[in-house]
Amino acid sequence: MKLLLFISHNGGISRRDAFGKVRNGDVTVNGVVEREPSRAIDPMADKVMLSGRAVNSKEYAYILLNKPAGYVTTCEAQFDQSGVLCLLPPDWRHLKPVGRLDKDTQGLLLLTNDGILANRLAHPSFDVNKIYHVRVVRRLEFREKERLEKGVVIEGTKTAPAQVENITFDGNFTEFDLTIHEGRKHQVRLMCHEVGHDVVRLTRIAQGPLKLGSLKPKAWRVLTGEEIALLAAVGRGVPVKYSSKYSPRKSFKNSTQQPFKNSTRQPFKHSTQQPFKRSPKKGQPGRKKT
């Protein structure tokens, strides 16, 4: 967002006055005088002062995007054609994704400038459920389902209990919904890999109280007031009062965590484009492109 717009919108002055203030040297960004009104600022991270008074973002915005595969959620790529922010209109491009999705993962991505809420949702202590619709090669056997649910060791640590539901098998691929309560990097792909399955499609369909619903890929919508209220209550059962008194629950201690032991599988390589080239065993179908 441009400095001029940020100040006029949040500092209660006209654009002309804001322009004058910036040019006069009355505005600082992170403690340094800024005389360029078109300078891009990050309303969540930059500290803007106008004539010695802090200017804070007045409005919080909450957008739910159906992220298509092929776009990254990292902020470094935010102005680049491969970043999710380029899927939003310019007015929303100062928002930040809450958590991350792999480049090849699609589905529900929340973007906001509400830093407090973003931290809560991303923090494991709030135990926010995430539901992924997963498509894997070949049949998911009962014992593999059980392992996913009880927890598997990935990168040296056991995953928290998870739920596998709505399983369907079409002869080549299994699809199911996996509910996890953590947000570890590449977690779903790693978990499936650990039980012997390559993920060929991964879609996040829910995060806490938010549901992807029928939103089309690349489409976005503003959260409803009810959804914002539900999000604010996440993890505590009471609405958040955006104050410094807020104290998160004690750190989530996963009693099932165990040191890395007895894993026979190769470590996951971070390329999600080409997951695990395992040659199909005799009598098993190979991976098909979806």
Q: Does 105 bind ligand URA (CB under 6 A)?
A: yes
Catalytic residue among 17, 102, 170, 177: 102
Q: Does 120 bind ligand URA (CB under 6 A)?
A: no
27 vs 38: CA distance, rounded Å: 13
Shortest CB 166 distance to ligand URA, Å: 18
Eight-state DSSP code of residue 75: G
285 vs 202: CA distance, rounded Å: 20
**Cα Rg of the chain, angstroms:** 22
Under DSSP, is residue 238 helix (H, G, I), strand (E, B) or coil? coil
Which residues, listed in sequence order, are joined to residue 157 by a DSSP beta bridge? 154, 259
Sign of the CA dihedral with 27 first, then 28, 33, and 38 last: negative
96 vs 83: CA distance, rounded Å: 11
Q: Report the residue from 7, 22, 49, 101 that binds ligand URA according to the rule CB under 6 A.
A: 101
82 vs 88: CA distance, rounded Å: 12
Shortest CB 52 distance to ligand URA, Å: 44
Q: Report the residue from 137, 140, 188, 231 that binds ligand URA according to the rule CB under 6 A.
A: 188
Under DSSP, is residue 47 helix (H, G, I), strand (E, B) or coil? coil
219 vs 66: CA distance, rounded Å: 6
Write out the H or E segment, with its range, that includes residue 18.
helix 15-24
Among the residue ranges 41-49, 64-72, 81-89, 100-108, the one whose residues contact ligand URA (CB under 6 A):
100-108
Shortest CB 188 distance to ligand URA, Å: 3
Shortest CB 124 distance to ligand URA, Å: 14
Among the residue ranges 5-13, 26-34, 51-59, 185-193, the one whose residues contact ligand URA (CB under 6 A):
185-193
Residue 5 carries which side chain, given as an amino acid letter? L
Q: Does 189 bind ligand URA (CB under 6 A)?
A: yes
Shortest CB 162 distance to ligand URA, Å: 11
Eight-state DSSP code of residue 76: G
Q: Which is nearer to ligand URA, 270 or 282 (CB)?
A: 270
Q: Is 26 a catalytic residue?
A: no
Q: Which is nearer to ligand URA, 136 or 223 (CB)?
A: 136
Among the residue ranges 58-66, 143-151, 181-189, 274-282, the one whose residues contact ligand URA (CB under 6 A):
181-189
The catalytic residue positions are: 102
Interface with ligand URA (CB under 6 A):
101-102, 105, 186-189, 202
